Amino acid sequence: MLKILIAEDEEPIANLIKMNLRRAGYECVWAPDGEKAADLMTKCKYDLLLLDVMLPGINGYELMEYARTLELPVIFLTALGTTENKVKGLRMGADDYLTKPFEIVELLARVEAVLRRYHKGETVLEVFDVVIDTASRSVTRGGEQIALTMKEFDLLLLLARNRNIALYRETIYENVWGGDYMGQSRTVDLHIQRLKKKLNWDNEISAVYKVGYRLEGEH
């Protein structure tokens, strides 16, 4: 399991990030200040650092220097959203820069992209009784392949990587079809219905009133 260190001084934000990353299959450790983060980085090897700039004690920019010596991938999470701040963070070696407030689905997508860049991405996901192989783009149940179209596979993968998160139709459309959402709700709805039928997931994928859809978590 890939291990992510979250250096964030606001506990509610850290807990939200930690909860959703764990649901996505990552192991998470939280550091509430810069000194704690540096100590954890010294004692344990992590696959990714989510780093707030404005940390008590040792700030994010100083921690970035240390992370670079460890060859640890870094995504800055910060309320400092000016171009100057972004350029500074990226020039220091950060792999990405996400400005608060952000959607969890966007954070998960960026985490996945950075880990994939370092060849650390998860290639096989198991959801209920279904196995999703992202490398071969295949879906199986009990060793038997389930035939999905390209868009159905992309839709399933988006839902699987955002378990228990209600995804807006706009978010689904923009991530799967790659364009601006112009009210094409039927496109999303029809693909969801086809996916539910092919996977026999009548209850696993839920409609969320006035929002979109959610893939339920396993209990």
Q: What is the pLDDT at residue 79?
A: 83
91 and 133 inside one domain: no
**How many Cα atoms within 13 Å fall on the side-chain side of residue 106?**
14
| Domain boundaries, position 205 | 124-215
Q: Which of 76, 100, 117 is the last residue of a domain?
A: 117
pLDDT attached to residue 9: 94
Q: pLDDT tens digits for 55-107?
A: 998 989 899 989 989 989 999 998 876 778 778 878 888 899 998 888 888 89
Q: Give the model's confidence band at 219: pLDDT under 50 very low, under 70 low, under 90 confident, else very high.
A: very low
Q: Are residues 64 and 155 in the same domain?
A: no
CB 166 within 8 A of CB 172: no
Together in a domain, 158 and 209: yes
Same structural domain, 72 and 175: no
Task: Give 161-198 pLDDT, tens digit per residue.
Answer: 888 888 888 888 888 887 766 666 689 999 999 999 99
